[in-house]
Amino acid sequence: MPSPGHPATRRHLTWWALAAVPVGFLALFFVWPLTAMVGRGLVDADGGLDLAGTAAVLGEARTWTVVRSTLTLALLGTAGSLALGLPAAYVLYRLRWRGQQVVRALVAVPFVLPTVVVAAAFTALLGSQGIGGGLGLDQSVLAIVLALVFFNVTVVVRIVGATWAGLDPAAVAAARTLGASPRRAFRHVTVPSLLPAVGSAAAVVFLFCSTAFGVVLVLGGTRIRTVETEIYLQVNQFLDLRAAAVLSVVQMAFVALALGAAAWARRRRERTQAGHRIDGSRVATRADAPLILTTLATLALLLATPMLALVERSLRTSSGHGFDHYVALLEQPQRTVLAVPIWQAGVNSLLTATVAAAIASTLGLIVAHLMAHPSRRSALLDTLVMLPLGVSAVMVGLGMLLTLNRDVVGVDLRGSWWLVPIAQAVVALPLVVRTLVPSARAIAPSLRHAAATLGASPARVWRTVDWPLLRRPFGLAVGFAFAISLGEFGATSFLARPDRPTLPTAIFRLLGRPGIENVGMAFATAVVLAMLTAGVMMASERMRTRVGADL
């Protein structure tokens, strides 16, 4: 056993001391609320575990029906997102061409659009009067899968794209020099280096797909039931906390499954990557045109058409088309449809998202640093951080009300504004971590060792070795966290006060009242939210190239 003064022990202590920050945050704002809800459902009157009740829920046929349909949808959604996302990651990140930044930003927009709006856009597209009306996709499984891909393709593009852009072309060039065909070089050099990122992206997308709520209900015409919709039904309609708790545990098993698979893929293929993490992108040539055009056309078909449908609806007035609803965003809505004008909700959104992004990216940076070396404890931390992706917002939202709506260690959190950005940060954190970890792991340990050997303190090693290499992905992660927080609806709807709506909660409220002014304003607000998101993503992309140029 090393003594307390031993460097190894000190490193352990530092690791755990640092880990206490994100772990404490998640324990307080995620694990505690969730445990409270699950506990209420699973603990019987005597305070023991209600095993008979749990078994009863697990024994019901409908439980397994929803588990099956959840798995099917999640697998199809993940497969679709990878099929479109991988070529898109190559075209948008590995290649360089004019205008790609705009496309990169646009691809991220669907991810943050409120599901109510996306569902309406898809219905406008696939309904009998839509362009795709003849396809008979309305209220079908395929419609849901398309919407899942619409939402999640950006996750694949960003996580894989960031890694792809940083791969050293010299490795492929070396393989080619040694006589490998382009295909062989791709399979044996590029693919293994990309796999960790692909595994990460697939795990995240799988989790998003398995907890999708709004799209499944709206686009499936409520015919397809998943674990998530079943939890909502059990809580909201029947207040059956036992069934909800059992289903939540099942849902967490999904998380473990997806994370385990991703970790397995990573471990199996992870190689100590070379430390020279460089800008490996190259200018597109004429030969790339077919791939670029095909990818762009597919993206346009899937992503742009629903968004155009959205814009069209926002312009529709009772007397044709016009900008009436956009003008209305600046005014106090008629009577009191909303407590504040939409621009004010926009200010609220920007403010909350700023705080949320600050929290999420700070915590994310700490987590990425702690996970820089693969180990058992870092895998544990990874699982904890990812867990929020796989848990129903209904459970967490209710749990937060149960546990946090009171004095917590002397701080009165009742109706506190801070709960909103905190909840959004919990949601954004996994994505921040996923964006940062591949880059953190790509930093060669030899660099750090060299610096340490030369007498640099751990803080100085981090500042001079890690940070310059993490800055670029960090900029992207901040932008992504900000965008996610802007569009977050599930948890926000539980916590945002009615007099301080955010853009998504304002949209939801506007969609709850009859009259073309309200629905028009809802769609106009959605377009503004989409443009804000695109702006944020574009700004973070811009930062990316500047930083890239430094290197």
Partner 1 sequence: MSSIHARTSLAALAAATLLIAGCTTTDQASPSPTDTSPAPSTPEAATGTVTVVTHDSFAVPDEVLAAFEESSGLTLEFVAPGDAGSLVNQLILTQEAPLGDVVYGVDNTFASRALDAGVFESYIPEGLDPSVAEYGLEPGTLDVLTPIDFSDVCLNYDLAYFEDSDLEVPTSLDQIATADYAPLTSVTNPATSSPGLALVAATVAQYGEDWTTFWEDASANGMRVTASWSDTYFTDFSAPNYGGDYPIVLSYASSPPSEVIDGEPTTAALLDTCFRQVEYAGVLQGADNVPGAKAVVDWMSSDAFQETLPQNMYVYPVSPSAALPPEWVEHAQLSEDPATLSPSRIDAEREEWIDTWTSVVLD
Answer whether 442's CB lies under 8 Å from 166's CB: yes
124 binds partner 1 (CB under 8 A): yes
DSSP code at position 332: P
Nearest residue to 127 via CA among 22, 264, 37, 219? 219
Number of CB atoms found within 10 A of residue 47's CB? 6
Residue type at position 498? P
SS3 content of the chain, % helix, strand, coil (to 5): 75, 5, 20
Residues 206-225 that bind partner 1 (CB under 8 A): 217-218, 221-223
Q: Which stretch binds partner 1 (CB under 8 A): 83-91, 193-201, 237-245, 356-364?
A: 237-245
Cα of 358 vs its chain's centroid, Å: 16
The answer to whether the CB of 157 falls within 8 A of the CB of 296 is: no
Tally the C-alpha atoms within 13 A of residue 109's C-alpha that lie toward its C-beta: 29
Q: Does 402 participate in binding partner 1 (rule CB under 8 A)?
A: yes
Residue 57 C-beta: closest distance to partner 1, Å: 14
Among positions 83, 284, 337, 452, the unique one binding partner 1 when judged by CB under 8 A:
337
CB of 431 to partner 1, least distance (A): 26
Smaller CB separation from partner 1, 221 or 322? 221
Interaction residues for partner 1, span 494-533 (CB under 8 A): 494, 497-499, 508-509, 511-516, 519
Residue 318 interacts with partner 1 (CB under 8 A)?
Answer: yes
Nearest to partner 1 of 15, 418 (CB atom) = 418
Q: Quick one: which segment of 12-20, 25-33, 261-269, 416-424 binds partner 1 (CB under 8 A)?
A: 416-424
Whole-Å CA distances, 464 to 335, 374, 480, 530:
57, 22, 25, 37
Neighbours of 350 (CB within 10 A): 17
Q: How far is CA 544 from CA 90, 252, 438, in A?
A: 17, 35, 16
> With CB under 8 A as the contact rule, which of the stretches 23-31, 84-92, 96-104, 123-131 interacts with partner 1?
123-131
Taking the C-alpha atoms of residue 85 and residue 96, their distance in angstroms, rounded to an integer, is 17
- Asked whether 240 and 234 are in contact (CB, 8 A), the reply is yes
Are 227 and 35 a contacting pair, CB within 8 Å? no
Site for partner 1 contains 493 (CB under 8 A): yes
CB 387 within 8 A of CB 255: yes
* Residue 322 interacting with partner 1 (CB under 8 A): no
| Helix spans in 113-168 (H) | 115-126, 141-165
Q: Residues binding partner 1: what is the number (CB under 8 A)?
A: 52
CB of 117 to partner 1, least distance (A): 10
Backbone angles phi, psi at 50, to 5 degrees: -85, 80
Q: Which is nearer to partner 1, 223 or 546 (CB)?
A: 223
CB of 216 to partner 1, least distance (A): 9
Please, is 134 exposed, middle or buried when counting C-beta atoms within 10 Å of its C-beta (0-12, 13-18, 19+)?
exposed
Shortest Å, Cβ 77 to partner 1: 18
Considering beta carbons, is residue 101 or 332 the nearer one to partner 1? 332
Among 26, 38, 66, 120, binds partner 1 (CB under 8 A): 120
Q: Which of 32, 417, 450, 542 binds partner 1 (CB under 8 A)?
A: 417
Taken in order 66, 71, 72, 77, the sign of the CA dihedral is positive
Interacting stretch for partner 1, rule CB under 8 A, among 198-206, 413-421, 435-443, 482-490? 413-421
The nearer residue to partner 1, 354 or 416, going by C-beta atoms, is 416
Closest distance to partner 1 from the beta carbon of 16 (Å): 31
Q: Tell me which residues touch partner 1 (CB under 8 A).
A: 40, 116, 119-120, 123-124, 127-129, 217-218, 221-223, 229, 232-233, 235-239, 316, 318, 335-337, 339, 398, 401-402, 405-406, 412, 415-418, 493-494, 497-499, 508-509, 511-516, 519
